[in-house]
C-alpha cells in the first residue's frame, strides 16, 4: 500500500521546478527573502548550559545591583524587538504559503488576503512565548532568587542536574509541539481558512486518525532538513575558496590604499568593500533558499491537501 507522504514527493518537486524555472531573478529574490524572514525568526529551543562557576553568578548579581535600570531597559527593548520579528514572521508565514500555492509572489496582496490567519498565528506565538518564559523561570527559580537577593545560588551538582533534566524534558515537549504546529496546523489554517484554535483541534483529530502517515511525513521532513543543511554546508564550502580569494585581494587592495592614501581613505573603502561582500553573501543566501522553500512548501501543501481529502 502506497503512502501519501512518499507519493507526493515527486509531484511536489515537479511543481516547484515548474514554478522556479525558467530562472526569474525577481521571483527568486522575493521568494527567498520571504523564506529567510519566516524561517529565521522563532523560538530559541536550545537550553544551553556552560560550565559556569560561582564567580559568574556573583558578577551577574553585582551587575544587576549596580545597573538594574539599564538592564531592565535593555530587556524591554529586546522584548519589543522580538515581538516585532515574531509579528513579521507570523504574518509572512501565510504570505509565503499562498505565494507558492498560487505560484504568484505578490507580497502585498497575499499578505492582505491571509492577514487574519497571520494574526491568529501571531497571538499563538505570543502566548506560547509567555508560557515558555514562565516555565523556564519556574525551572530556574532556585538560581534566580538568590541572584535577585544579592546572594549566591546553590551551585552543587544535584540542583544543576535537576535543572538540566527538567529543562531538557520541557525543551523536548516544546520542540515536538512546535514541529506539529509548523508541519500541520498552519497548513490546516491556510487550506481551511480557520483560526489557530480551531485548526489545532482539527489537526489533533487528524493526527489520531492518520498517525502513521503524519508521523512518517514528519520523519521525512526531518530527513529533508538534514539533507538541506548538509547541502548548504557543501555549497558554502565550494563558495568559500573563491570568496576568500576575492576577500584576500580586496584586503590587499585596502592595505595598499592605506600605504598610499592614508588611514581614513582605507577605512572608508574597507567599509564599502565589506558592505559589498555582505550584500553578495545575503543575495546568495536568498537565491539558495528560494528553490528549497518552493519544494518544501509544495510538499507540505500537497500532503495536507491529501490528508484533508481523506478526512472529507
What DSSP line would sit under 141-199, residue for residue? HHHHHHHHTTS----SHHHHHHHHHHHHHHHHHHHHHHHHIIIIIHHHHHHHT--HHHH
Stronger pLDDT, 116 or 40, i.e. the higher one: 116
Mean pLDDT of 134-152: 75
Q: How far apart are CA 275 and CA 277, in angstroms?
A: 5
**pLDDT at position 56 over 50:** no
pLDDT at position 192 = 95
Q: How far apart are CA 262 and CA 285, in angstroms?
A: 35
Q: Report the mean per-residue pLDDT for the chain.
A: 83
- Entry pTM: 0.81
pLDDT band at 2; cut points 50, 70, 90? confident
Q: How far apart are CA 215 and CA 229, in angstroms?
A: 21
CA 263 to chain CA centroid, Å, is 40
Q: How far apart are CA 258 and CA 270, in angstroms?
A: 10
> Which grid coordinates belong to 299?
510538499
**pLDDT at position 153 over 90:** no
Runs of H (alpha helix) within the chain? 4-7, 9-20, 25-39, 54-102, 107-113, 115-139, 141-148, 157-180, 186-192, 196-209, 211-261, 263-311
Mean pLDDT of 5-15: 95
**Lowest-confidence segment of 127-131, 135-139, 305-309 by average pLDDT:** 135-139
pLDDT band at 137; cut points 50, 70, 90? confident
pLDDT at position 23 = 93
CA 282 to chain CA centroid, Å, is 16
pLDDT at position 181 = 96
Q: Vertex 253, ends 247 and 254: CA angle to 5°?
A: 90
The pLDDT tens digits for 180-215 are 999 999 999 999 999 999 999 999 999 999 999 999
**pLDDT at position 64 over 60:** no
Residues 152 and 143 sit within 8 Å (Cβ to Cβ): no
The pLDDT tens digits for 238-297 are 776 777 777 777 677 766 766 666 676 767 777 777 787 778 888 888 998 999 999 999
Helix axes 263-311, 54-102, angle to 10 degrees: 60
Mean pLDDT of 161-168: 86
Cell 487574519 appears where? 116
Report the chain's C-alpha Rg in angstroms: 24
**Lowest-confidence segment of 47-61, 148-162, 213-227, 258-272 by average pLDDT:** 47-61
Q: How far apart are CA 198 and CA 289, in angstroms?
A: 31
pLDDT at position 90 = 94
- Residue 66 phi/psi, 5-degree rounding, is -90, -30
The region that residue 156 occupies, defined by phi over 0 for left and psi between -120 and 50 for alpha, beta otherwise, is beta
Cell 575558496 appears where? 241
pLDDT at position 151 = 64
Amino acid at each position: 500500500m502506497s503512502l501519501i507522504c512518499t507519493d507526493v514527493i515527486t509531484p511536489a518537486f515537479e511543481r516547484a521546478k515548474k514554478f522556479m524555472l525558467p530562472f526569474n531573478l525577481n521571483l527568486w529574490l522575493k521568494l527567498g527573502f520571504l523564506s529567510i524572514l519566516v524561517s529565521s525568526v522563532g523560538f530559541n529551543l536550545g537550553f544551553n548550559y556552560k560550565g559556569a562557576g560561582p564567580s559568574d553568578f556573583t558578577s551577574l548579581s553585582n551587575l544587576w545591583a549596580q545597573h538594574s535600570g539599564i538592564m531592565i531597559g535593555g530587556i524591554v527593548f529586546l522584548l519589543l524587538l522580538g515581538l516585532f520579528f515574531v509579528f513579521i514572521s507570523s504574518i509572512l508565514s501565510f504570505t509565503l504559503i499562498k505565494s507558492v500555492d498560487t505560484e504568484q509572489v505578490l507580497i502585498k496582496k497575499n499578505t492582505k488576503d491571509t492577514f487574519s490567519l497571520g494574526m491568529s498565528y501571531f497571538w499563538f506565538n505570543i502566548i506560547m512565548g509567555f508560557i515558555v518564559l514562565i516555565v523556564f523561570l519556574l525551572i530556574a527559580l532556585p538560581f534566580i532568587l538568590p541572584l535577585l537577593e544579592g546572594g549566591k545560588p546553590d551551585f552543587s551538582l544535584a540542583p544543576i542536574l535537576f535543572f538540566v533534566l527538567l529543562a531538557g524534558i520541557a525543551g523536548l515537549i516544546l520542540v515536538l509541539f512546535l514541529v506539529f504546529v509548523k508541519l500541520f496546523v498552519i497548513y490546516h489554517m491556510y487550506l481551511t481558512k480557520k483560526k489557530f484554535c480551531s485548526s489545532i483541534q482539527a489537526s489533533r483529530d487528524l493526527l489520531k486518525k492518520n498517525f502513521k502517515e503524519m508521523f512518517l511525513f514528519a520523519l521525512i521532513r526531518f530527513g529533508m532538513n538534514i539533507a538541506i543543511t548538509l547541502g548548504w554546508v557543501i555549497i558554502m564550502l565550494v563558495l568559500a575558496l573563491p570568496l576568500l580569494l576575492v576577500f584576500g585581494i580586496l584586503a590587499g587592495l585596502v592595505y595598499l590604499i592605506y600605504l598610499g592614501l592614508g588611514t581614513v581613505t582605507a577605512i572608508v573603502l574597507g567599509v564599502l568593500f565589506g558592505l559589498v561582500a555582505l550584500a553578495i553573501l545575503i543575495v546568495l543566501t536568498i537565491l539558495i533558499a528560494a528553490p528549497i522553500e518552493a519544494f518544501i512548501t509544495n510538499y507540505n501543501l500537497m500532503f495536507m491537501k491529501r490528508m484533508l481529502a481523506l478526512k472529507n
